[in-house]
Amino acid sequence: MKIKDYHILIDEISTIDLEADSIADSRRILAELNQREMILKDLKKRILNDIQNIKLEFMEMKQKINMDFAEGRSPGIVSRVRGKSKVKELKKLEKKRYETLESYYDVKYVIDDLLVQIQEAKEPLNDYIKKRLFGV
């Protein structure tokens, strides 16, 4: 999944009205929070899988660069004059890898934060239900 898609889903999930005026409202909100929590956990699995795939993809690209230069497929004289070298190619690849992974890690941190917020939002709702039902 693309980063943009993750952001769209997270925006949809993160907007919820948590104000409850009755036990029925509290139960409805709790059910909705539980559903959103499951979706977020699924998104977290997906993003971790995407991160792993990106790492593997960049590792393969790095290996290809190393193989190309090791097997003598290094650039010709014209490319060398322009400064194309194994070190530059690897640095460029590493920079691209870092930028790509950074955006995925940012989404992962947002998902983790939302999961914590959902847990924190459930407590007052459960307490409200207990007070109303059992007078605790």
Tell whether 13 is covered by a domain. Answer: no
pTM: 0.80
- pLDDT over 70 for what percent of the chain? 90
Q: What's the total number of domains in the chain?
A: 1
Tell whether 17 is covered by a domain. Answer: no
Tell whether 97 is covered by a domain. Answer: yes
Tell whether 87 is covered by a domain. Answer: yes
Residue 62 DSSP one-character state: H
Q: Mean pLDDT across the stretch 33-40?
A: 96
Tell whether 16 is covered by a domain. Answer: no
Structural domain boundaries, residue 31 = 1-8+22-132
Q: What is the pLDDT of residues 52-80, one digit of tens each?
A: 999 999 999 999 988 887 776 655 554 55
Asked if 107 and 3 count as a contact pair (C-beta separation under 8 A), the reply is yes
Nearest to 9 by CA among 111, 117, 112: 111
DSSP notation for 92-117: HHHHHHHHHHHHHHHHHHHHHHHHHH
Tell whether 115 is covered by a domain. Answer: yes
Predicted pLDDT at 81: 44
Tell whether 30 is covered by a domain. Answer: yes
